[in-house]
Amino acid sequence: MGIIDEILFLDDGTAAPLDYKYAEYKERTFKNHRYQLTFYGKLIEENYHVTVGRGFIIYTRSRNKLIEVPITKKMYQELDVIISDLLECCSKRCLSEARKI
């Protein structure tokens, strides 16, 4: 996670991440795929100073089926918590590893 396949700059002045999945579409979008798009949305907003309210996934093994995924304020808030928790976890791990030396 961290390299955006494509960034779409839309006619309404917003942008959207586009991610290709070498997978079949199974009539739903997996939670990790939604959060990956949310993470990409956050990166796009921070780097290009545009609003990102949706993303897209192309499932290449389902005849390039295109799925639009809304990215809500709530998803951004949840992502912020996830990132904070991960950073805290990494910090504690680094501290515990340093104490072993």
Q: Residue 86's pLDDT is what?
A: 84
Which residue carries 């951004």 as its tokens? 76
Distance CA 13, CA 29 (A): 26
pLDDT of residue 16: 98
pLDDT score for 1 = 47
Q: Is the pLDDT of residue 2 over 80?
A: no
* HSE-up (13 A, CA, CB side) for residue 62: 14
pLDDT at 76 over 70: yes
Residue 11 has pLDDT above 80, yes or no: yes
Radius of gyration of the chain (CA): 16
Does 93 or 18 have the greater pLDDT score? Answer: 18
pLDDT at 96: 57
Q: How confident is the model over 42-74, as pLDDT tens digits?
A: 999 999 999 999 999 999 999 999 999 999 999
The model's confidence at residue 93, banded by pLDDT at 50, 70 and 90, is low
